[in-house]
Amino acid sequence: MIRAIRVFVVETLQTRCVVVGGGPAGIMAGYLFARAGVPVVVLEKHADFFRDFRGDTIHPSTLQLMYELGLLDEFLKQPHQELRELRAIVNGQSVPVADFTKLPTRCKFIAFMPQWDFLNFLSSHAKRLPAFQLQMETEVIDLLIEGSRVVGVRAKTPNGDLEIRGDLVIGADGRHSTVHTRAGFQLREFGVPIDVLWMRISRKQSDPKQTFGFFQQGKLFVLLDRDDYWQAGFVIPKGRFDEIKARGLSQFQNDIVSFAGFLRDRVSELDDWSKIKLLTVQINRLRNWCREGLLCIGDSAHAMSPAGGVGINLAIQDAVATANLLADKLRNGPVSVDDLSKVQMRREWPTRLIQGMQVFIHRRVVTGATSGSKSSLPFVVRLLKWFPVLRQIPARLIGIGPRPEHFHSASAG
């Protein structure tokens, strides 16, 4: 009897820092480490950045970083929209929510830009740096652990398995993180009572401008302007998608029209439930963001809900703090757990604060309204309308966030 013996040869790469995930946190961390002269490999499981579910907001604090990095002028040449004031449509009335014009930042606006354009822009600059490598279609499936230390990752590629070893692995692989699961990190979940139905509806040049969202008696509808179409997000109570389906597509189309009447002539584009994706929303946080050889940042360390549109900003701020705190040491070799935990110590309280705010928004603003209250404007919204100065508070929270990070040129070697 002849037995076939298959020998698997696993290719191995060696670098200083392995970043898992090419989202805002991963690409920014990779760029900053490479800029500081730390050899870095970023691994992204998809073949491109064209993911629909990503948010589109580039915050004033991120634009400030682009300025500090010398990339702002070129960045602003990419197609985008600038929103100096964010308005929401609450029970049919347009109300101002946030005024960015008084922020102490170079750009006093939120730039709306499809996230793939942002990631393509940043990664194209990163690729000019000799220390930077981006491997697309490379999905991390496991961690390599020796003793108690994480020494690299194992990944699947179209050409077979790959091992990438490094002094530090950074988990930036988002809210369904393989890295934090494989590391055995404990996760604390904060119940989120909503999910989002995500879909595209074509856009006309005559349509109203980008807003913060349409709030109406317990329901929220968000439209992101992507030039020739709207990326629409319909917020529903968690677990109710089947009920909505049972009511039928035409009822769902009517619901959309009740928020945004200008879509009446186009909602029929949603002629099949396959065009409507269910996105489950989570808010959670790791107890420990690190162990020997491994650090999680961004949604991998703390999944954010879309509320307030702040998750991208927080992910980028984590990346900047990571590079500021670790680049110098990592250039010369491994970093200790104490060094890694400094990142958690620095970023945990801003995260707690923002997540607390998101939980509050879900309980009081989104689901609070599900009670069916028909009051014309909630009290907080009325305050924002009456006292313009108060609009600087949401502007600061959304546009900059607590503890904004700045690029330390010293860590650039």
Ligand X SMILES: Cc1cc2nc3c(=O)[nH]c(=O)nc-3n(C[C@H](O)[C@H](O)[C@H](O)COP(=O)(O)OP(=O)(O)OC[C@H]3O[C@@H](n4cnc5c(N)ncnc54)[C@H](O)[C@@H]3O)c2cc1C
Site residues (vs ligand X, CB under 6 A):
20-26, 43-46, 53-57, 139-140, 172-175, 178, 196, 198, 233, 279, 281, 298-300, 304, 306, 309-313, 315
Q: Which is nearer to ligand X, 312 or 343 (CB)?
A: 312
Residue 375 CB, nearest distance to ligand X (Å)?
Answer: 27
Q: Which is nearer to ligand X, 24 or 378 (CB)?
A: 24
Residue 149 tokens, joined: 């230390």
Residue 211 amino acid letter? T
In angstroms, the CA 337 to CA 340 distance is 5
In angstroms, the Cα distances linking 184 to 160, 167, 177, 288, 291 are: 26, 19, 11, 10, 10
Residue 164 CB, nearest distance to ligand X (Å)?
Answer: 11
- The pair phi, psi for residue 380, each rounded to 5°, is -60, -40
Residue 348 CB, nearest distance to ligand X (Å)?
Answer: 15
H runs (alpha helix) in 203-272 = 241-247, 249-259
Q: How many CB atoms are closer than 10 A to CB 227?
A: 10
Residue 69 CB, nearest distance to ligand X (Å)?
Answer: 18
Residue 4 CB, nearest distance to ligand X (Å)?
Answer: 31
- The pair phi, psi for residue 200, each rounded to 5°, is -110, 140
In angstroms, the CA 368 to CA 195 distance is 15
- The pair phi, psi for residue 118, each rounded to 5°, is -65, -45
Q: Which is nearer to ligand X, 132 or 328 (CB)?
A: 132
Residue 281 CB, nearest distance to ligand X (Å)?
Answer: 5
Q: Which is nearer to ligand X, 37 or 134 (CB)?
A: 134
In angstroms, the Cα distances linking 93 to 70, 84, 180, 202, 382 are: 41, 19, 43, 24, 11
Q: Which is nearer to ligand X, 317 or 328 (CB)?
A: 317
Q: Which is nearer to ligand X, 226 or 331 (CB)?
A: 226
